[in-house]
Amino acid sequence: MAFNVQVPVTILKEDKVFVAYSPVLDLSTSGKTFTQVRRRFSEAVQIFFEELNEAGTLDEVLSDLGWKRIARQLMPPLSVTNDLMDVRVPAVN
């Protein structure tokens, strides 16, 4: 049985590499292009769910990540913001 769920993902560019990360799955991947990293992330999520389902640990792992089951649907924790904050840090020598 397959289902769709919206998973928040942040895509960063580090030098020439794109990195996709989702805190609601604690899952990341990388690629050489924006399109490639989006495709790889989608594949990684599918594999992640398949492996958890086969191991019989889907509910346990997702619960530990803050997911809830509501009316037979899996719901990730709500992403409140993806923001920049000014933070004071000690000077680096």
Determine the Cα angle at 70 with ends 5 and 60, to 5°: 80
Average pLDDT, the chain: 92
Q: Domains of the chain by range and CATH?
A: 10-75 (3.30.160)
Burial of 18 (0-12, 13-18, 19+ CB in 10 A): buried
Pairing of strands 10-14, 17-22: antiparallel
Of the pLDDT bands very low, low, confident and very high (cuts 50, 70, 90), residue 1 is low
63 within 8 A of 57, measured Cβ to Cβ: no
What are the tens digits of pLDDT across the range 44-86?
A: 999 999 999 999 999 999 999 999 988 888 899 988 888 889 9
User: What is the rounded distance in angstroms from the CA atom of residue 88 to the CA atom of residue 78?
Assistant: 28
pTM exceeding the 0.75 threshold for the entire prediction: yes
